[in-house]
Structure 1
């Protein structure tokens, strides 16, 4: 199936969110970084590639631990944001599906909540293997799906009740690699051994106010679905989301469980 339209919508969406990431998406994604770096055995002097670096949080954390870091992202505005946040580090424009680096260039490759968004996750994993040196380590994180995530259970309950999902551009299954057996098979097919799995209990902390407005800045996939609906349907989605998320309201904001699952492997 052709996912080109979805891919370009993702690129445009992340470019648009580069200035918003700190106050929205980062409220959950950064929580996976410590375990991700633990799983790749980061060490001083390691050549580490952060694939889908966004504004550079993982790269910055790895650099603080002594790694020699390169970040790469297909959204140019995210690359600019990473340069602004970490001016001493290297950030490049490039694609997870065709990394602009030579074979065996890195000791470590890490990717935080990125394969969730690419159109060909198996190819992205193969690219990570290609640029790794023998014995190098790769790790990536994924959101768990509606069966394990309060956030995505509530969101998709609303969308399934009110939205015509067929209106959105065709997109790959976001949760394919959230299944341990599928993720392990993809890693092993790319030549990775000693595959490990960890779950991190991320909590999305959203400010008080309208949760719908916040979440339209948080990600890209759900806003693309919402934007494809008629205005009256969008209004119903907003109202239903407000009702569904009321249970997660705390003093000063919302706290919504949205766990991630992490996988790592070593190149043979």
Structure 2
């Protein structure tokens, strides 16, 4: 009797943080994995994931490049297996005032968070629509509701992803393909270290557990929910943001994200 093949999950940004936790959950739920990240730690993550008894293919690739996205998609297609769930989690942050940032680094945030993400979704999403089934989870952020003073580019990219996810979800209604958006708040990952924000108030503040955030996102995707804002504080913050003038939100954000604000918060 033929063994039923395991479903396949693709996870981007899977070397650490929320991405790694999403991959762990997928493994625990019986999915084989294709994981990718732009750093060599993806191989360590793959070894950890294989301990769950799942098959894992790992790729180190910078998905800010369209060529790399196309190469990664061809790698997936070459397996001959359909992608059952796409966990589009790859992302970059960058702190400091926009005019003080290195422009190449700022553009890398845009290309990672937006260009590479929507390119991969376009490729895999078309395959899902042709089959009439599939699930997509996009990692947005509550940052997308707030003008990000000292994080202007990052928050802008997350505003795009939040909006994009709702629009795509509506376009794919009744196709068998669901789109969900995970909108976490500050989470205990390497994000603030990579974004050069360890000296900020938000960088030093208590943060959410990435495993709990990932679980909420995964379960919401499986329940076909359009979005999930994790944590009651984040839910409250997003609700208030809907009624607060943008200029006031920008000023409030500056107090937590400005360089050296960790010292002022003590």
Q: TM-score, normalised by structure 2?
A: 0.43
Q: TM-score, normalised by structure 1?
A: 0.43
Q: Identify, as 1 or 2, the structure richer in helix.
A: 2
Q: Identify, as 1 or 2, the structure richer in strand.
A: 1
Q: Which has the higher contact order (CA 8 A, sep 6+)?
A: 1
